[in-house]
Amino acid sequence: MNGFKIVVLAKQVPDTRNVGKDAMKEDGTVNRAVLPAIFNPEDLNALELALQVKDKYPESVITVLTMGPPRAAEIIREGLYRGANNGILITDRKFAGSDTLATSYAISQAIKKIKDYDLIFAGRQAIDGDTAQVGPQVAEKLKIPQITYAEELKEINKDKIIIKRRLERGVETVSCQMPVLITVHSSADDCRPRHAKFLMKYKHARTNSELEENNELKDLINNREYLKITEWNVVDIEADITYLGLSGSPTKVKNIENIVLQSKEAKNLESTDQDLESFIIELIENHTIG
């Protein structure tokens, strides 16, 4: 055996990390349209661990798998630029409204179609929901073990993989046979940057839907198999549609409440010496400090 078959699960997410004032609408909700769509940060850590396996066993093959709207093909290209070998986008309107259970069902169906795999790497969680549920749920549906919160790849050989995990209050090193699903923590190595060679090679990689939008690349891609990004829908992954979307999602949003903040009777101070000194004296006198 010369290499491993690796699947990296990645998600395109709105960048919620620095939702600045400009992203807020009048009613206090976030204007998603102005947030850039990015490669979910911990999925990049996951890609890096996969690439480290490939560094050790160069014949390994890395497939980036993502579920999302057609534009999510962007993150597959991003993966290719950093060293992945190919990508699969699962996209279908029937996925809309899926909660984590329905999402993990769809992803596990796609992985069953890939069939031959040793390792699945995923980010611990996506920043738009922070649930950390999809990784373990995919592992359960595939009936394979899971290693959550991976921080470091210690060792890998044909029999086992050894991973250091980052826990709330410590670390744990575990060894497991393959296939296994590994979720990766942000404390793992940052992903290596794009490589100029791969950028040149894959910059025209496209899905079929993207080609339909823009015909110009068709001939080029038809001559170069590696530029085709696979696209699968519900039928391709042989999914039971009652397990998808709203009907396949046990959790429902009952209601969403916009909290209107009721202003307390607050004291408003300026940063003048006078205001600040009397503020401190007040806190000392009512024994809040001191």
Partner 1 sequence: MRNVFVYCELEDNIIADVSLELLTKGKSLASQLNCKLEAIVIGSNLNEIDKQIYKYGVDKVHLADDKRLYPYLTLPHTSIVTKILNDNNPQIVLFGATSIGRDIAPRVASSLRCGLTADCTSLVIGDHYVKKDEKEYKNLLYQIRPAFGGNIIATIINPDMHPQMATVREGVMKMEVFNETYKGEIKQINVADYVSDTDFVLEIIERHIEKSKINIKGASIIIAGGYGVGSKENFKVLYELANILGAEVGGSRAAVDAGFIEHERQIGQTGTTVRPKLYIACGISGAVQHRVGMEESAMIVSINTDKNAPINSIADYNIHGNVAEVLPKLIHFYKKNSK
Cβ nearer to partner 1, comparing 196 with 261: 261
* Window 27-66: contact mask with partner 1 (x via CB under 8 A): xxxx-x----------------------------------
Query: How would you classify the pairing of strands 12-14 and 161-167?
Result: unpaired
Six-digit token string for 169? 């209050």
CB 38 within 8 A of CB 73: no
The least CB distance from residue 125 to ligand FAD, in Å, is: 9
CB 81 within 8 A of CB 198: yes
The least CB distance from residue 3 to partner 1, in Å, is: 22
Sign of CA dihedral 173, 179, 184, 187: positive
Six-digit token string for 243? 């397990």
Question: Judged by CB under 6 A, does residue 36 bind ligand FAD?
Answer: no
Q: Which stretch binds partner 1 (CB under 8 A): 44-52, 70-78, 169-177, 202-210?
A: 169-177
Question: Judged by CB under 8 A, does residue 196 bind partner 1?
Answer: no
Six-digit token string for 286? 């009512």
Six-digit token string for 133? 């549920």
Q: Which residue is nearest to ligand FAD (CB)?
A: 130
For residue 148, give every residue at least 6 positions away whose Cβ sits within 8 Å of its Cβ, in sequence order, or none.
124, 132, 135, 136, 165, 182, 183
The least CB distance from residue 142 to partner 1, in Å, is: 10
The least CB distance from residue 170 to partner 1, in Å, is: 4
Question: Judged by CB under 6 A, does residue 18 bind ligand FAD?
Answer: yes
Q: Which of 5, 113, 141, 194 contacts partner 1 by CB under 8 A?
A: 141
Q: Residue 225: which of partner 1, ligand FAD, none does it interact with, CB under 5 to 8 A by kind?
A: none
